[in-house]
A = this chain, B = another copy of it.
Amino acid sequence: MTNETSGEKFDLIAIGRACIDLNATEYNRPMEETMTFTKYVGGSPANIAIGSAKLGLKTGFIGKIADDQHGRFIRGYMEKAGIDVSGMVVDQEGHKTGLAFTEIKSPDECSILMYRDDVADLYLQPEEVDEEYIRRANKLVVSGTALAQSPSREAVLKAVHLAKKNGVEIVFELDYRPYTWKSAEETAVYYSLVAQQADIVIGTRDEYDIMENAVGGSNERTTEALFKHAPRIAVIKHGVEGSYAYTREGGTYRAQAYKTKVLKTFGAGDSYASAFLYALVQGKDLETALKYGSASASIVVSRHSSSDAMPAVDEIEALIADQPVLHS
CB within 8 Å of B: which residues of A?
22, 25, 30-32, 34-39, 68-70, 72-73, 76, 96, 99, 101, 103, 113, 115, 117-118, 125-127, 150-151, 154, 157-158, 161, 182-183, 185-186, 188-190, 192-193
Among B69, B99, B103, point to the contact of A115 (Cβ < 8 A): B99
Residues of B within 8 A of A72 (CB): 32
In the complex, the answer to whether B31 meets A189 with C-beta atoms within 8 Å is: no
In the complex, the answer to whether A69 meets B151 with C-beta atoms within 8 Å is: no
In the complex, the answer to whether B69 meets A103 with C-beta atoms within 8 Å is: yes
In the complex, the answer to whether B150 meets A182 with C-beta atoms within 8 Å is: yes
Q: How far is the CB of A202 from chain B (nearest CB, A)?
A: 22
Q: How far is the CB of A157 from chain B (nearest CB, A)?
A: 5
In the complex, the answer to whether B127 meets A185 with C-beta atoms within 8 Å is: yes
Residues of B within 8 A of A35 (CB): 38-39
In the complex, the answer to whether A96 meets B117 with C-beta atoms within 8 Å is: yes
Residues of B within 8 A of A126 (CB): 183, 185-186, 188-189
Residues of B within 8 A of A103 (CB): 69
With contacts A70-B113, A186-B126 taken as known, whether A37 is within 8 angstroms of B39 at the C-beta atoms is yes
Among B68, B117, B157, point to the contact of A113 (Cβ < 8 A): B68
Q: How far is the CB of A100 from chain B (nearest CB, A)?
A: 12
Q: How far is A120 from B110 in the complex, measured between Cα atoms in Å?
A: 24
Residues of B within 8 A of A189 (CB): 126, 154, 157-158, 161
With contacts A35-B39, A37-B37 taken as known, whether A69 is within 8 angstroms of B113 at the C-beta atoms is yes
Among B22, B38, B185, B192, point to the contact of A125 (Cβ < 8 A): B185
Among B34, B117, B127, B193, point to the contact of A118 (Cβ < 8 A): B117
